């Protein structure tokens, strides 16, 4: 009986610790981001990073990796050509590794628009190698990353470029506008984007944002010429690489791009698992930046807290449920009360904010799946594994 009592006390302690860790992480970073996202807003009002009086129209290279995009590549090209940026100061580089008619379609457009270039590979390269090849070939002072499945607002490129009037800014990333918000998954993704963009706004005001959207991001070319190869996702790697050099990486909500989310939750989970796995890999690669005062609040707060949210929190939640299951066999009265509390909380959010609870569960599941793949499998996450339902004409 004494051993059983000790075991029960240990399981209880581990349960409280496991469930307390994510509450502490999300609570602490929630307060920090709320401070910078809301309370510090008044201090920043009227203080723009841009100086609209200074003419600044550098030569820009838009780099787009493509793999079997014959269904939408024409729409993609027309979308970029419709950008409100001087055509003579804009080049569009497609880096293609397709086995369908995508490269032929691009070549046809290049005959009519000499600012369109095609780099073609005859084997599957993946996102990062394609982006590196495109950036090396780029002639622009500013390089804009774009995705075949997302469509730039006409003002996206001018708004990206405007931020670089500030010499301290090295990377600018944009705002994802969901097109299918009338669908089940689209509603959940739209809710997720609101939290995500608030977080990026707060991190930008604090120092620099960790979250870079490769669908609409711009970087000074001279800052990444020595980047070399990377096995992680290229966009986030660029953000950390540039911040490591002392330049800011900022989120600009005026830079808008449009895209569709998958039709199904399984498709959305696939997307988020790949993204999460790449984020974990990038954080591990740049772990030397954490808790280093030379990187300011980015190194001391933003990177450690994101590592905690992406790695520590989901593992703690998983182990918490494992300990609770264990307690069910040894302490039925306590575990019944615990299951009741958790069930009531879940039911409350399911009734009053269904999309919020589904988004949170989907996010945590994707993180756990990504961590499993990173730690225990050799699965790579750099191929352009699109979900077909996100490609709509």
The rounded distance, in Å, linking the Cα atoms of 258 and 236 is: 20
Give the span between the Cα atoms of 309 and 25, in whole angstroms: 7
Between residues 283 and 356, the one the model is more confident about:
283
pLDDT at 54: 60
How high is the pLDDT of residue 83? Answer: 96
| Beta carbons of 383 and 129 less than 8 angstroms apart | no
* pLDDT in the model for residue 209: 97
Predicted TM-score of the model (pTM): 0.90
d(CA 299, CA 287): 9
> What Å distances lie between residue 44 and 29, 51, 205, 220, 261, CA to CA?
20, 15, 8, 25, 33
- Which pLDDT band holds residue 104 (cuts at 50, 70, 90)? very high
Q: State how far the alpha carbon of 361 is from the alpha carbons of 22, 310, 314, 317, 346, in Å.
A: 13, 13, 10, 11, 10
* Joined tokens for residue 248: 């800011």
Q: Give residue limits of the domains in the chain.
A: 1-41+54-393
The dihedral built from the CA positions of residue 31, 33, 36 and 41, taken in this order, carries a sign that is negative
Q: Which two tokens stand for residue 372?
A: 């499993």
Q: Are the CB atoms for 237 and 127 separated by under 8 Å? A: no
Phi-psi region of 291 (alpha: psi -120 to 50; beta: other; left: phi over 0): left
Beta strands at 60-66 and 90-96: parallel, antiparallel or unpaired: parallel
Residue 359 clears pLDDT 50, i.e. is over it: yes
Share of the chain above pLDDT 70, in %: 94
Spatial distance between the Cα atoms of 375 and 64, rounded to a whole number of angstroms: 30
Q: Who wins on pLDDT, 354 or 151?
A: 151
Q: What is the pLDDT of residues 158-180, one digit of tens each?
A: 999 999 999 999 999 999 999 99
CA distances, 59 to each of 139, 168, 319, 337 (Å)? 8, 19, 52, 64
Phi, psi of 118 (to 5 degrees): -125, 125
pLDDT at 46: 38
Highest mean pLDDT among 48-57, 74-83, 177-186, 322-331: 74-83
Contact residues for 371 (Cβ-Cβ < 8 A; gap 6+): 276, 277, 280, 311, 314, 315
Average model confidence (pLDDT) for the chain?
Answer: 90
Q: Residue 100: is its pLDDT beyond 70?
A: yes
The DSSP call for residue 256 is E
pLDDT in tens, 24-68: 999 999 999 999 998 665 444 433 445 555 678 999 999 999 999
Q: Is residue 341 predicted with pLDDT exceeding 90?
A: no
Confirm or reject CATH 3.30.70.141 for domain 1-41+54-393, answering yes or no: no
């Amino acid at each position: 009986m004494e051993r059983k009592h000790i075991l029960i006390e240990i399981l209880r302690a581990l349960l409280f610790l496991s469930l307390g860790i994510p509450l502490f992480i999300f609570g602490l970073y929630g307060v920090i981001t709320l401070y910078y996202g809301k309370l510090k807003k008044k201090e920043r009002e009227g203080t723009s990073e841009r100086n609209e009086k200074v003419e600044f129209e550098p030569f820009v290279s838009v780099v787009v990796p493509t793999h079997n995009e014959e269904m939408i590549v024409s729409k993609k090209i027309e979308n970029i050509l419709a950008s409100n940026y001087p055509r003579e100061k804009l080049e569009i580089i497609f880096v293609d590794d397709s086995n369908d008619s995508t490269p032929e379609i691009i070549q046809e457009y290049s005959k009519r628009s000499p600012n369109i270039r095609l780099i073609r590979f005859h084997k599957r390269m993946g996102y990062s190698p394609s982006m590196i090849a495109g950036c090396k070939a780029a002639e622009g002072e500013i390089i804009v990353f774009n995705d075949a499945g997302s469509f730039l607002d006409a003002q996206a490129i001018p708004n990206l470029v405007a931020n670089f009037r500030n010499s301290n800014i090295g990377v600018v990333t944009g705002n994802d506008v969901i097109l299918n918000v009338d669908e089940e998954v689209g509603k959940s993704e739209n809710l997720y984007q609101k939290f995500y963009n608030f977080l990026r706004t707060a991190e930008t005001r604090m120092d620099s944002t960790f979250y870079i959207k490769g669908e609409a991001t711009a970087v000074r070319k001279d800052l990444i010429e020595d980047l070399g190869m990377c096995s992680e996702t290229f966009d986030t790697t660029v953000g950390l690489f540039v911040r490591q050099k002392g330049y800011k990486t900022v989120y600009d909500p005026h830079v808008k791009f449009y895209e569709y989310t998958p039709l199904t939750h399984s498709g959305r989970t696939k997307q988020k698992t790949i993204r999460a796995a790449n984020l974990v890999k990038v954080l591990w690669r740049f772990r030397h930046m954490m808790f280093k005062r030379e990187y300011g609040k980015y190194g001391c707060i933003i990177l450690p807290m994101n590592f905690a949210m992406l790695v520590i929190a989901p593992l703690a939640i998983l182990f918490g449920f494992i300990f609770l299951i264990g307690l069910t066999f040894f302490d039925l009265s306590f575990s019944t009360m615990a299951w009741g509390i958790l069930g009531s909380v879940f039911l409350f959010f399911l009734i009053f904010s269904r999309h919020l609870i589904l988004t949170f569960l989907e996010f945590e599941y994707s993180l756990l799946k990504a961590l499993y793949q990173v730690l225990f499998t050799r699965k790579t996450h750099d191929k352009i594994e699109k979900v077909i339902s996100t490609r709509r004409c």
